[in-house]
Amino acid sequence: MTDADPPFGVVHNSLTGGGGVGGSVVQAGTINGGLHLHARPLPVPRQLPPSPRRLVGREADLAALDRSLDEETGAPEATVVVTGPAGVGKTALAAQWLRGLAERFPDGQLYADLRGYAPGGPADPAEALGAFLRAFGISPVPRSLAEGVALWRSLAAERRIAVLLDNASTAAQVRPLLPGAEGTVVVVTSRRRLTGLGMDGAVFRPLAPLAAEASTEILAARVGGRRVADESDAAAEVVDACAGLPLAICLAAARIAARPAQSLAATAEILGRSTDRLTALNAEGETVQDLLDASYGVLERGAARLYGLLGLLPFGEFTLENAAVLMDVDLPAADRLLDGLIDVHLLEERGPERFRFHDLVRLHARARGRELRGTGAGRAALDRVVDWYLASATAAEAVVTPSHRTLARDHLTLPSHPAREFADQVRALRWLDQERDRLADVLRWCEELDRPAAAWQLADAMWPLFLRLRPARLWGEAHRIGLRAARTAGDRSGELRMLTSGGNGLRNAGEGEEAARWFTEALELARELDHPLAQANALYGLSQTHRMAGRLAEAAECLHRVVGLREAQDYLRGSALARLAYGEVLLLADRAAEAVEPVERAGRELSSIGEDYEAARATAFLGLAHGLLGAYDLADGCLASALAGFRAGLSVHWEARTLEFAGQVEERRGRPEEARARFEQSLARYRDVGAAAEAARLADRLAAYGVGPGVTPRTGGPDV
């Protein structure tokens, strides 16, 4: 190397002629002649994932997203968080919506999968940030996250862009990727609620499962409309098994389409087996099971345990108290655990302190619960639920029907969360009404858990529900279970109570012959146990079956014996009720004048001991007696008073019966239009409580007024 040579690595370039350099730099030796360099511009990024050309059943959701952009933000910049359970179609909805707005974002639409539930864990936001910067030609990207964020926001400030951040895990993962500039719209999808983004001005759009009609349309589009039409029942079963999740529907459709020779019924049968459904819904290795496993995997330990235990409950909708009892914690602690499940959309909030699982999620939760059921702690949790319902129903029974609360209760556990307490009858009855489905499910569950004593005792504790609200079918079913359970437990007192209480339910359901058998068995058992009051109860039940069968003389004879047995035991309430029933028999026998004295006496005695509900029944019968005797002013006063009492005491059945009495009185006084109005009101209320026999009787009566069986009764007439 000579002194004239340049140092190593240094090159001197010279351009001669009309050369020019712009943008990129060319390093070379000597260039002669004309030189023109043209930088090749980067394409506008259009990175949105594919989505169906038309999103079936999502028109309302797309409209809601439009409103969030135009109305709620008040500016061309917005962040929208689309949340929902796994497989509900969040990504497809977001991509479809943003694609439809492409003209509003001439500088690009960016996409990043944040892998919130991937096996390897969520993506680092720096990874997505680097991809965004490179999409606009920035390379290399800054190594510091803070520098990258600053550069990203500077770049976004000069552009009109849309960003889809898919499968986000937390608000902290999203924040560095928010452009924060006018002209940008960001859509975040997540199985979590990401409420923390509300601090950044985000609006939230929860996404619900599809309706059955939309699910069927998707299935038909993928497997053929003719095939779905030809096997409409099987197609409906497939749609029902998919529970409104678009992913599940598409997976089922892929399974069906891959087997053109196989009927839809075959797939419906497989999906109908709950143990197979989560894994049967798969295509090329992707299953609903995998999606739910991923959501479950991010739960903290307590929430995961609660998830499994809730899956074991016999009812699909449960309360905050149920969760507290299962976990043996107070309500605030239970609320925090439930919030963890809601946050990842494994649980739906249905109302104040009420929750439920999506159908497919419930299958997944039940599978997780089976892992806990065999443990001592898991079984103790289930026993606590049974004992809490038994104690709470017993507390309601003690308030509404204290004279019925005479038998022992056997609790295996004492939950930390106390049983319900009730200040008055109205609150107790309202709770029984609200919880009737869960009470029924727990009662059936007792057989599965091998808790026979709890089964019959719970049926016994539910007596106010049966007496006042008259759910006829449940009344009979509960006591059939209770009778089996009492016999299994070898409890003769429990067996006797189930026979008498259950006989009343069977009679009210129109099963008079079976009711008579139950009462006869009860009478024999009461004699065997030398229990006079139980004998009276059985005879009272027999009197009612005789009355319903039109055997009025036999009914009167039974009631005469009941009064004697109860008076001998100084049982004032019982003897008064027997007199009241005797007055009813006299009314049915067209002996209204003779009925007034025993009914009035029964009313006075019942009022003297604070039995307002039973006294109201006496007032109703007295109103009917006065009406049949032509004392219409007295009749109207009695019936109005009784009706007010039943409405205050939440007894729809007796409200219906009092209205029926009022209709009879209006007929007697020659006012057919008023009579018809009363009968229509009565029929509507009988139907409200499922009193089929009474409803049929009223429908027959209304037929004489030209009201056919298919006509909906008018309920707007004047009340008594």
Mean pLDDT to the nearest integer, 54-78: 76
Is 0.85 topped by the overall pTM?
A: no
- Say whether pLDDT at 692 is over 70: yes
For residue 547, the one-letter residue type is R
Tens digits of per-residue pLDDT, 574-583? 999 999 999 9
C-alpha–C-alpha distance, residues 553 and 549, integer Å: 11
Residue of 160, 612, 85, 692 whose CA lies nearest to 401: 612
C-alpha–C-alpha distance, residues 206 and 218, integer Å: 21
Query: What DSSP string runs through 664-679?
Result: HHHHHTT-HHHHHHHH
The backbone torsions φ and ψ at residue 162, rounded to the nearest 5 degrees and listed phi first, read -120, 145
- pLDDT, residue 523, reads 96
Q: How confident is the model at residue 32 (pLDDT cuts 50, 70, 90)?
A: low
- At 361 the three-state DSSP class reads helix
- pLDDT, residue 715, reads 37
- Say whether pLDDT at 660 is over 90: yes
- pLDDT, residue 182, reads 82
Identify the top-confidence range among 66-75, 97-106, 474-483.
Answer: 474-483
17-31, 90-104, 131-145: least confident range: 17-31
Structure tokens, 172: 């902290």
- pLDDT, residue 719, reads 36
- pLDDT, residue 283, reads 55
- pLDDT, residue 34, reads 59
What domains are defined for the chain?
A: 1-40 (no CATH), 59-206 (3.40.50.300), 212-284 (no CATH), 292-373 (1.10.10.10)
C-alpha–C-alpha distance, residues 356 and 638, integer Å: 46
- Say whether pLDDT at 712 is over 50: no
Paired with 394 in beta bridges are none
- pLDDT, residue 28, reads 54
- Say whether pLDDT at 676 is over 80: yes
Segment (H or E) for 461: helix 452-461
DSSP collapsed to 3 states, 552-618: HHHHHHHHHHHHHHHHHCCCHHHHHHHHHHHHHHHHHCCCHHHHHHHHHHHHHHHHHCCCHHHHHHH
> Do 499 and 523 form a contact (C-beta atoms < 8 A)?
no
- Say whether pLDDT at 650 is over 80: no
- Say whether pLDDT at 73 is over 70: no
The backbone torsions φ and ψ at residue 80, rounded to the nearest 5 degrees and listed phi first, read -120, 130
Q: Is pLDDT larger for residue 472 or for residue 438?
A: 438
Structure tokens, 589: 């026998």
Alpha carbon of residue 522 to chain centroid:
39
- pLDDT, residue 459, reads 98
Tens digits of per-residue pLDDT, 599-647? 999 999 999 999 999 999 999 999 999 999 999 999 999 999 999 999 8
- pLDDT, residue 314, reads 92
Percent of the chain with pLDDT over 90: 54
Structure tokens, 56: 């079936």
> Do 150 and 123 form a contact (C-beta atoms < 8 A)?
no
- pLDDT, residue 709, reads 52
- Say whether pLDDT at 12 is over 70: no
Residue of 661, 663, 644, 659 whose CA lies nearest to 689: 659
- Say whether pLDDT at 119 is over 50: yes
- pLDDT, residue 290, reads 77
Percent of the chain with pLDDT over 70: 89
- pLDDT, residue 54, reads 80
Tens digits of per-residue pLDDT, 279-327? 767 655 567 777 788 788 888 999 999 999 999 999 988 999 999 999 9
- pLDDT, residue 456, reads 98
Question: What is each CA distance from 412 to 323, 390, 394, in whole angstroms?
Answer: 19, 11, 15
pLDDT mean across residues, the chain: 86
Residue of 448, 453, 475 whose CA lies nearest to 462: 475
Tens digits of per-residue pLDDT, 506-526? 998 889 899 999 999 999 999
103-107, 114-118, 482-486, 586-590: least confident range: 114-118
- pLDDT, residue 374, reads 83
Mean pLDDT to the nearest integer, 19-23: 46
> How deeply is 364 buried, as exposed, middle or buried, from its count of CB atoms within 10 A (0-12, 13-18, 19+)?
buried
Question: What is each CA distance from 348 to 160, 287, 343, 352, 652, in whole angstroms?
Answer: 36, 21, 10, 12, 32
